[in-house]
A = this chain, B = another copy of it.
Amino acid sequence: MTARIRRRAGRRPGNPDTRQQILDAAREAFAEGGFDGASIRQIATSAGVDPALVHHYFGTKEQLFLEMLQLPIDPREFLPQVLAGDKHEIGVRLVGTFLRVWDSPAGTAAAALLRSAMTNDWTVRLLREFLVTQVLRRVLAHIEPDPAEAPLRVSLVASQIAGMAMMRYIIKLEPLASAPPDTVIRAVAPTIQRYLTGDISGSAPATT
């Protein structure tokens, strides 16, 4: 912890090689053990440094995870505004915020990342860890649904949001690719809202 004293504002601390060693060890640890399974102690050991140095360079385990992912979009910035306010308007706020962020230059970088993340099992696993621990858990903690249904609800939300990202920004399927945000919100927000707070186990007839 004495290391913290040496920290200077406006400048990333540390030897670039050591930082990179820690990030490499972190990537492996998070991909293998998941976010919950990985520990700063284990990452430090495999990078050959003291755990205090890892904390000094990167802060908490969560901060290290996000730094390692190098996401162009940080969920800590946009999730609070999505989650604040009326629970029954969360679909509208989620789709609206999603479109605002992804229609921006950061969205172009996010689309590139999503494309490349899908190409191998390692990056797919990291993407899943990110979704579960950084996004979905926070949404869940906020909406407080029936605990038995909650995990399915958030994975359904993830499916519609991921599919929208894929069709609007990667496959660029028209007219969804260039539809005005309001059009997309009107169409998609009710889906998100039903997945979060509506009936998801209703009376659909059995398939043929």
The interface of chain A, by Cβ under 8 A from chain B, is 81, 89, 91-93, 95-97, 100, 114-116, 118-119, 124, 127-128, 131-132, 151-152, 155-156, 158-164, 166-168, 170-177, 179, 181-183, 185-191, 194-195, 200-202, 204-208
> Shortest Cβ distance from A150 into chain B, in angstroms?
10
> Shortest Cβ distance from A157 into chain B, in angstroms?
10
| A172: chain B residues within 8 A (beta carbon) | 124, 128
Number of copies: 2
> Shortest Cβ distance from A111 into chain B, in angstroms?
10
Select which of B92, B162, B176, B206 is within 8 A of A167 by beta carbon: B162
A159 in contact with B166 (CB, 8 Å)? yes
Select which of B96, B164, B170, B205 is within 8 A of A207 by beta carbon: B96
Known interface pairs A159-B164, A160-B160, A194-B191; A131-B204 also in contact (CB < 8 Å):
no
B160 in contact with A191 (CB, 8 Å)? yes
Q: How far is the CA of A166 from the CA of B163 in the complex (A)?
A: 8
B175 in contact with A204 (CB, 8 Å)? no
| A202: chain B residues within 8 A (beta carbon) | 186, 190
> Shortest Cβ distance from A192 into chain B, in angstroms?
10
New A-B pairs, 12, CB < 8 Å, besides A124-B170, A159-B163: A92-B207, A115-B119, A118-B119, A128-B171, A155-B177, A158-B176, A160-B163, A162-B163, A162-B167, A185-B204, A186-B201, A190-B204
